[in-house]
Structure 1
């Protein structure tokens, strides 16, 4: 009887050991259909801001942040891992864009992380990703070379470039994609309060020429211990390829929140239109006009009577001397209701920027 018990126990032990080894080895093995890729980019620039900002740091922007200085706007290197069931991304970054946009992050090492996320496939067309993610909001993205114009619109500079949390992506069809998010907050890695924020996005591509997108955000933006300041934000954009040479895009933002230091609610809004024309295989022109209105100073603090009510127009020239290499020139003008541009010459409601850049992506 004892012998049978010992034999049974031994067989169970061996079975569990073999199973554990199989599980452990399957975890450690690289799947046959896995794919690892390395990519990166470098964007260097020289910009001249005619307001001659103090300490060479340009106001109301993160891109072309330094005045009268050759510098690195954004450099990053990104590693991706993907199979048909899991995926992961790790991207490290540096540059003046990082210095400006991540200034609120308390840890300097945290600012080096452009992306750090992992995801698992839950079903056909359904993925769950967690970590530091690109923002689901807005038409323009972080890397200058991926946009029609070198600098970002004011609406892009004052909405998230990145988010931290969990994102459920559902590809409803070949034309329709939806995103549901739970986030730490409005563009932050380190949490600032006990509340979590919610995000939603839907993108519709009815054909190869048109893209329509709606994106929203809701969250409490007050720091720990403060009275709740609930932010409601909506973004809509559309793009359309008129022809092989001409493309158009437009975007509108609207946000609402309890005012800082008050229980009353205030709002802000922004709108822009972009057009791009491909003159030849190597040369293109683009233009953008926009207006940003934050009279309640919810997003942009100016300490002026009318807040930040600013229009801007840009003209951009692109030249592609070689694959993945881009030379850009941009002239940009600003006109604000109040004297919000501060520099060596004092205060002014108008400003201008000239910037040129070289960027390479691999």
Structure 2
């Protein structure tokens, strides 16, 4: 991984740095504004009161390791953009990658956060192919972009990334449509011969209000097995009341043919959150949520009631500079069954304390 970051960094630096004249001081300046280099780091310490086995926290990809300082996510990204062509390559590492990409059989592909290229077909219409950020959900991968440090259970159990083709159309200044053909539900390497479909619509009627509906349809059975079709819906919205206060909410509903029978099962989830800025450099945020997967389609617990869990988070932010964020979060869980397994056995409730430094450049 280290070698990949070094090669990418040196290559992009060579494209953007000009040579100094013999009698001039060494001067760095961008020669081509079509290129942009960015990156980020999110380092953390988490203490999980269930004291999970092997230090690996259950039902999460964020702050994955218990009672140790670690890197949650680090990425280095190169973007290229012209009037009619665009491309992104981003490499990644961290315990988020360890947890979220464990199902990818090729270790090399786990290091790829994004790898996509796009072409403008018409004004406001783009076609992109490759490994893309997910079109589903309110919260995204990088903690600095979210109100609360850890992700909601609904975010952890829906795609963070997708692989395929995405057609994006800006219908107006307020409406954007997305149509997708994908390998599957958060996978880079295909697991069967079928392709999945996705659709999304975003509506921003005012500068304060944002609304979005997204769906997914695909066969989730491995190759050689009878098809098990999944149909998933996600709706979210956010509203800015003032410079200090904004709120957001999201709802998921999914339905799929069960692997154990010909019947269909379902799962649903919901969350609400709010963030309040106490001062220019300080903010607090809270999140309430519930995730219900009694049929164990997404989350397998081997318990009679599946995964029926609620969670509440309280988050405190300190922002010394615009691109740096120090966070503290306390998160409590309550489940219908004893799903939190640790050194002292299983229990139906849990508490997490976590702190993080995140920087984006």
CA distance in 1, matches of 2:347, 2:106: 35
2:169 equivalent in structure 1: 170
Could you list the runs of 5+ residues in structure 1 that have no partner in the other structure?
1-31
2:53 aligned residue:
54
Q: Deviations over 1:29-84 (max 9, x none)?
A: xxx98610000000000000000000000000000000001000000000000001
Say yes or no: does 1:277 pair with 2:272: no
- 1:77 matched residue in structure 2: 76
Counterpart CA distance in 1 for 2:210 and 2:319 is: 26
- Check whether the contact 1:33–1:83 (CA below 8 A) recurs between aligned residues: no
Aligned length: 332
5 Å matches for 1:219-298?
219-298=218-297
Structure 1 residue aligned with 2:10: none
Separation of aligned partners in 1, 2:32 and 2:124: 18
Give the match's secondary structure for 1:317.
strand
Q: Which residue of 2 aligns with 1:117?
A: 116
1:139-150 alignment to 2 at 5 Å? Answer: 139-150=138-149
Indicate the residue corresponding to 1:135 in structure 2: 134
Partner of 1:184: 183
Gap change, CA 1:268 and 1:357, over 3 Å in 2: same
1:98 is aligned to 97
Superposed counterparts of 1:197-236, under 5 Å: 197-236=196-235
**Mapped partners of 1:33, 1:113: distance in 2:** 25
State how far apart, in whole Å, the 2-side matches of 1:33 and 1:112 are.
27
Quote how far apart the aligned CAs of 1:202 are. 0.3
Provide the rounded CA distance (Å) in 1 between the counterparts of 2:219 and 2:32.
Answer: 43
1:319-358 Cα shifts (integer Å, max 9, x gaps): 0112301000000000000000000010100000000000
Name the counterpart of 2:28.
none
Deviations 1:282-306 (A, max 9, x none): 0000000000000000000000000
1:9-24 paired onto structure 2 within 5 Å: none
The residue that corresponds to 1:349 in the other structure is: 348
- Alignment partner, residue 35 of structure 1: 34
In 2, are the aligned partners of 1:33 and 1:84 still within 8 Å (CA)?
A: no
2:207, 2:259 → 1: CA distance? Answer: 44
After TM superposition, give the deviation of residue 243 of structure 1 in Å: 1.0
Deviation per residue, 1:178-219 (Å, 9 max, x gap)? 000000000000000000000000000011100000000000
- Residues 62-107 of structure 1 deviation map (CA, whole Å, 9 limit, x = unaligned): 0000000100000000000000100000000000000000000001
4+ residue runs over 6 A deviation: none
Counterpart position of 1:338: 337
- Counterpart CA distance in 1 for 2:55 and 2:271 is 27
Correspondence for 1:326: 325
Structure showing greater Rg: 1
Q: Decide which moves more: 191-200 or 33-42.
A: 33-42
Which residue in the other structure is 2:26 paired with? none
Distance 2:150 2:259 in 1: 29
The residue matched to 1:98 in structure 2 has which SS?
helix
Give the alignment's TM-score, normalised by structure 1.
Answer: 0.91
What is residue 13 of structure 1 aligned with on the other side?
none
Segments of structure 2 that go 5 or more residues without pairing to the other structure are 1-30
Equivalents in 1 of 2:282, 2:142: separation in Å? Answer: 19
Three-state SS of the structure 2 residue aligned to 1:291 is strand
CA distance in 1, matches of 2:353, 2:225: 41
Counterpart position of 1:5 = none
Is the partner of 1:326 in helix, strand or coil?
Answer: strand
